[in-house]
């Protein structure tokens, strides 16, 4: 799951300014992303008709909503509890992913942090299949079942060292990419020696 450090590296420090927010955030509108039939069901739900979120979240969020509608699960949700909100993680100096508009909370009163909560796994699967990671998969006291965050693959960030230590698949993927990059360099018309000379000349 994407973390605060990756968001900070990609988008910088979150700011309550039009200049910063207009680069990465915009309103998602239900009536622009759903069919009339889908919209009719959506309007009966607790979700708002307009949600301020990261531009990269529009497509996955639409997919998640459609999954919920098609499986007749959207109406089971009781409260929408927010998306974009500039704040620090509780008990930390790091920015919450809500500060970048890539996370949202639902049914918060019944799914508090540190407890397993009561969200149906059908609902969770609908949202995860749309393109989100679930806070209910956090370990121990960090479990946060109300919380969903956009998957890394939609954001285009590199895994941190901490994540790589816990993920052999990510380590293998990183090594494969490094090998491929070296192979490409070997087949470029310009030798590495010439590249070094070029860099020295222009430094």
Give tens-digit pLDDT for 12-21. 999 999 999 9
DSSP string covering 35-59: -HHHHHHHTTSSS-SEEEEEGGGHH
Answering whether pTM is above 0.85, one says no
Please state, in angstroms and rounded to a whole number, the distance separating the CA atoms of residues 141 and 9: 27
DSSP string covering 135-147: GGGS-GGG--TTE
Pair of tokens at residue 135: 């806070």
SS3 123: helix
Q: What is the pLDDT of residue 163?
A: 44
DSSP 83: S
Cβ proximity of 2 and 8 under 8 Å: no
39 alpha-carbon distance from chain centroid: 24
Please state, in angstroms and rounded to a whole number, the distance separating the CA atoms of residues 26 and 41: 23
* Residue ranges of domains in the chain: 4-154, 161-202
Please state, in angstroms and rounded to a whole number, the distance separating the CA atoms of residues 196 and 200: 6
Which CATH number is 4-154's, of 3.30.9, 3.40.630, 3.40.50, 3.30.1380? 3.30.1380
Give tens-digit pLDDT for 146-187. 999 999 999 986 554 444 444 455 555 556 666 766 666 666
């Amino acid at each position: 799951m994407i973390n605060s450090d990756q968001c900070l590296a990609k988008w910088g420090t979150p700011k309550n300014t039009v200049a910063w927010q207009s680069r990465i955030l915009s309103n998602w509108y239900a009536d622009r992303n759903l069919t009339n039939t889908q919209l009719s069901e959506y309007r009966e739900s607790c979700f708002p008709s307009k949600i301020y979120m990261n531009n990269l979240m529009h497509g996955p969020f639409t997919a998640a909503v459609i999954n919920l509608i098609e499986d007749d699960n959207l109406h089971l949700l009781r409260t929408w509890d927010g998306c974009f909100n500039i704040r620090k993680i509780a008990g930390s100096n790091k920015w919450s992913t809500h500060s970048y508009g890539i996370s949202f909370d639902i049914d918060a009163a019944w799914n508090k942090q540190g407890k397993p909560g009561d969200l149906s796994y059908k609902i969770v699967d609908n949202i995860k299949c749309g393109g989100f990671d679930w806070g209910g998969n956090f370990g121990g006291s960090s479990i946060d079942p109300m919380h969903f965050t956009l998957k890394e693959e939609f954001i285009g960030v590199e895994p941190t060292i901490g994540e790589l230590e816990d993920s052999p698949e990510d380590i293998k993927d990183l090594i494969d990419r490094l090998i491929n990059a070296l192979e490409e360099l070997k087949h470029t018309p310009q030798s590495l020696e010439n590249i070094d000379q070029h860099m020295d000349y222009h430094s």
